[in-house]
A and B are shown apart, each in its own frame.
Chain A
Amino acid sequence: MVLEFKPQGIYCPAGDFFIDPWRPVDRALITHGHADHARPGHNRYLATAAAAPVMHHRLGEITLDTVDYGETRRIGGASVSFHPAGHVPGSAQIRVEVDGEVWVVSGDYKTDPDRLSEPFEPVRCHSFITECTFGLPVFTWAPEAEVAAQLNRWWADNAAQGRFSLLGAYSLGKAQRVLSLLDPEIGPILTHGAVENTNAVLRGQGLPLPDTIHVTPDTKAADHQGALVLAPPGALSTPWARRFRPASTGFASGWMRLRGVRRRRAVDRGFVMSDHADWDGLYAAIKATGAETIYATHGYTDIFARWLTEQGYDAHVVPTEFTGESLDDDASTEADAAS
């Protein structure tokens, strides 16, 4: 086996390293900076140069070596390379080749392009370890331009009626993607600290984001009529958000495809927007790898694997500690919010 599934995470015996391990190990290859993939406590990290700033921001002083996309590294008996996953800026799929056999670990991925992430590239392999966060046929995403139009129309309507637009989006990835879609002509864009910290990191590496105003304890809502306020989802129901009244609330997430989830969140508007592949995207990505063996790591794994089996794949479910696009706020968001 090129890769094995160990209690610490996905392991490569030929190179003696782990990919996105969830327990501390000596050498960890990291697909991207989200908290369920890039955890603290490893001796050595390897990630793409584009993922490095966020990892330093989130994990502090770590021993981090970087590679460029497509660059091959030799680690022990394994050849390793990183390829764009289209999930968030800097995110990668990791290709591992040992004695001519190729495995790819997808990490999290999204097949449709957006304006910030390096676009997803299919990588041919024998075995593909895939996420399937949204691996059900009810999850299909509208084109990004359509969501952008919905967002801007909602914002403009609210502004016209004297309401703030209070939008929840995860602070790494989703928030910046939302920013890239907003029409700054409509009004000012205000950001919560957790979002603004990540903005600063990504601006620092040259990503184009519109101007934003960081909300501080001194910020007066009255000075920013008609603003769109971007915050981690958890912040919407805290006293922090209460100064922006009256407001219409929104949440940008793939889960907003489900009405029940949106109602449980008690937000006015749900914008269906995910950093993960939808049902069609997952299947297209799997087909494009040419792999015969598929391991489903997180999401609706049982159902997805059963369906892949019916399509003629050798499909397996592998329990991991990845969470994908969590319905609840991920721990990193909370941690950022405190800083």
Chain B
Amino acid sequence: MKRFAALYATIDQTTKTTRKVEALAAYLSQAPEDDRLWTIALFSGRRPRRTITTTRLREWAAERAGIPLWLFEESYPIVGDLAETIALVLPEPTETHDDTLTTWITRLRALDAASEDDRKTAILDAWNRMDPLERLVFNKLLTGGFRVGISRKLMTRALAQATGQDEAQLAHRLMGDWTPENTTYHSLIEAEDKAAQLSRPYPFCLAYGLDEDTPDSLGDPADWHAEWKWDGIRGQLILRGAEHFVWSRGEELMTDRFPELARARDFLPDGTVIDGEIVAWEDPHPLPFNALQKRIGRKTVPKKLLKEAPVILLAYDLLEENGHDLRDLPFATRRARLDALLHDLPQDAPLRPSRLIPFKSWGDLAQTRATARDHRAEGLMLKRSDSPYHVGRKKGDWWKWKLDPLTIDAVMIYAQQGHGRRANLFTDFTFAVWSGNDLVPFTKAYSGLTDTEFRKITAWVRKNTLQRFGPVRQVRPEHVFEIAFEGIFESPRHKSGIALRFPRMARWRHDKPVQEANSLDDLHALLSQYG
């Protein structure tokens, strides 16, 4: 644990990527194998299952610190991180320990079956043995959300340095839904494990956004392919060993959530891997994202929903054919093979190619892009014809060229402080539009402003609070913000009757008086046009 806490501190105490990777690589070559495995798991978003509710942790921490619970609760939003708040209020430890990360995690897992009293005793004992830094790390294990400024990509790079293995191959090995409890460091990183390989997805190739109005900078249009950028769930369909697997980009195994895709086995040969977008479909278009949304998060799907929002896979790319990895072939070749493979599928097959969009010039394509909403697409994807299927995000070969967002001018009426890096700043706002003389709240937004703007608005909120509801402050309706969003839906759950997709603050409209903000009627006009 001490070694891991020290690693955490080193990573946390530098803003330089190379130093973080260096420290992690050193750790991954020196720590015990079990600890390495857990570290890889934690830094790739896998954490031990939560055994103790945060409510209990707060109570125990307040009790141990000798402060009333309300005082702990008031401190938490100011610190912005529960694990850290607990670590900060606890008194100095009176005992010590010399146990490893894995030992502590195993101990935590064992508490699953323990009584409430035993859990409390164990946690208080742990807190009393650890120094403040170890406590912070330990509490993060307890509360989840282990984000420490090391991306998965950097972790993979460090692991490559530590093991001498190829980074892309390691990235592939680390895919899937393994946990340190169902594998070992050896079988995950070193061994050839046929069974694990069967379901393992390829790392997704990701694109950067293109900001320009015309992509002239990309050169000759003849070198590029274009297709719609669909608004669904990016996924990988794997047919191997007479089974099929559906993975989301977040590496969640979603096979059972989309039973429609099982029929792919009837049409496609074993040894096939397809990258595509899972969308709810109503010929000839996808349904809006909120139709699909209803199916996300449901492990089993009721018949009614299967009927209302049937899904298909719009296929983008062919990654494996007859068991051969095609990722190094040029996109144009892979795409031609994909089309050949899907060519003869019947109309009711659960997958079809996402069609390519022919174009002669960038100007042509810009006009097509402008019609994306009519096709229920978010914009276009541009892929260089000779590009391989990269691991992760790499600049240059793939671009997403999204439509300009929809916008509306709204009045800020509530403000709340952010978390983590944004604790102590007001960053979470609720916005309203006019309905007669009333302001009706319709969305929240958290992002889009610069740090300087957040500081400015924070100072303003402090001086212009009308009322407090717990952490939420009602502020003087004085500031207008342009809210940008990707989609608009009807939503009976909201007071305004609408919900937005990806709302954010595009601009602080210092020039606009509050009276000139948009109205609920304006929102409904957008809803009938784009909803």
Q: Which A residues are closer than 8 A to B by beta carbons?
A: 136-140, 248-249, 257-261, 263-264, 266-269, 300, 303, 306-307, 310, 327-328
Residue of A at shortest CB range from B468? Answer: A302
Contact among B72, B75, B89, B420 with A260 in the assembled complex (CB-CB below 8 Å): B420
Instruction: Give the CA-CA distance A307 to B68 in the complex, in Å.
Output: 9
Q: Is the CB of A258 within 8 A of B423?
A: yes
Q: Is B128 an interface residue (CB 8 A)?
A: no
Choose one: A257, A264, A267; the contact of B451 (CB below 8 Å). A264
Interface of B is mostly: helix
Chain A residues with CB under 8 A of B421: 260, 263-264
Is B269 an interface residue, CB under 8 A from the partner? no
Tell me how far the C-beta of B299 lies from the nearest C-beta in chain A, rounded to whole angstroms: 35
A263 to B422, CA, bound (A): 9
B423 touches A138 (CB 8 A): no
Instruction: Name the residue of chain B whose CB is nearest to the CB of A154.
Output: B13
Decide if B423 touches A248 in the complex (CB within 8 Å).
Answer: no
Given the interface contacts A259-B84, A260-B422, does A136 sit within 8 Å of B14 by beta carbon?
no
Shortest C-beta distance, A5 to chain B (Å), equals 17
CB contacts under 8 Å to A, within B50-75, are 65, 67-68, 70-72, 74-75
- Total number of residue pairs linking A and B with CB closer than 8 Å: 68
The 4 closest A-B pairs by CB, nearest first: A138-B88, A260-B423, A263-B421, A260-B80
Question: Is B15's CB within 8 Å of the partner chain A?
Answer: yes
Asked if B1 CB lies within 8 Å of chain A CBs, one says: no
Rounded to whole Å, the gap between the CB of A63 and the closest CB of chain B is 32
Q: Nearest chain-B residue to A266 (Cβ)?
A: B15
Q: Does B85 have its Cβ within 8 Å of any Cβ on chain A?
A: yes
Q: A259-B84, A269-B13 are in contact. Are A264 and B89 (CB under 8 A)?
A: no
Taking a contact as CB atoms under 8 Å apart, the answer to whether B65 and A137 are in contact is: yes
Tell me, yes or no, whether B455 is within 8 Å of chain A by CB: yes
Q: How many whole Å from B3's CB to the nearest CB in chain A?
A: 19
- CB proximity to A under 8 Å, residues B303-318: none
CB neighbours of B72 from chain A (8 A) = 137
- Chain B residue with Cβ nearest A248: B14
**B449 CB within 8 Å of chain A:** no
A264 touches B422 (CB 8 A): yes
Are A261 and B71 closer than 8 Å at their CB atoms? no
**CB–CB B420/A138 < 8 A:** no
Q: How far is the CB of B87 from chain A (nearest CB, A)?
A: 9
Task: Given A138-B79, A248-B14, A269-B13, answer yes or no on A307-B71 (Cβ-Cβ < 8 Å).
Answer: yes
Closest-CB distance, A324 to chain B (whole angstroms): 13
Bound-complex Cα distance A182 to B85 (A):
30
Closest to A328 in B: B455
How far, in angstroms, from A259 to B423 measured CA to CA in the complex? 9
Evaluate whether A261 and B424 lie within 8 angstroms (CB atoms) in the complex, with A138-B75, A138-B85 already known. yes
Evaluate contact between A136 and B425: CB separation under 8 angstroms.
no
Residues B78 and A300 in contact, CB atoms below 8 Å apart: yes
Q: List 25 A-B contacts (CB under 8 A).
A: A137-B72, A137-B88, A137-B89, A138-B75, A138-B79, A138-B88, A138-B89, A248-B14, A249-B15, A257-B88, A258-B78, A258-B79, A258-B84, A258-B424, A259-B84, A260-B80, A260-B420, A260-B421, A260-B424, A263-B420, A263-B421, A264-B451, A268-B14, A268-B16, A300-B78
Q: Does B192 contact A (CB under 8 A)?
A: no
List 12 extra interface pairs beyond A136-B75, A259-B84, A267-B15, CB under 8 A.
Answer: A136-B71, A137-B75, A260-B79, A260-B84, A260-B421, A263-B420, A264-B451, A266-B15, A268-B15, A268-B16, A303-B71, A327-B424
Tell me which residues across on chain B come within 8 A of A328, comparing CB atoms: 455
- Closest Cβ of chain A to B16, distance in Å, is 8
What is the chain B residue whose CB lies nearest that of A255?
Answer: B424
Report B-chain residues with C-beta under 8 Å of the C-beta of A306. Answer: 70
Closest to A303 in B: B74
Chain A residues near B78: list those with CB within 8 A. 136, 138, 258, 300
CB distance from B10 to the nearest CB of A (A): 10
Chain B residue with the shortest CB-CB distance to A268: B14
Residues in A with CB closer than 8 Å to B420 are 260, 263
Q: Is B167 located at the chain interface by the 8 A CB criterion?
A: no
CA distance A300 to B419 in the complex (A): 18
CA–CA, A138 to B423, complex, Å? Answer: 14
A257 CA / B75 CA spacing, docked (Å): 13
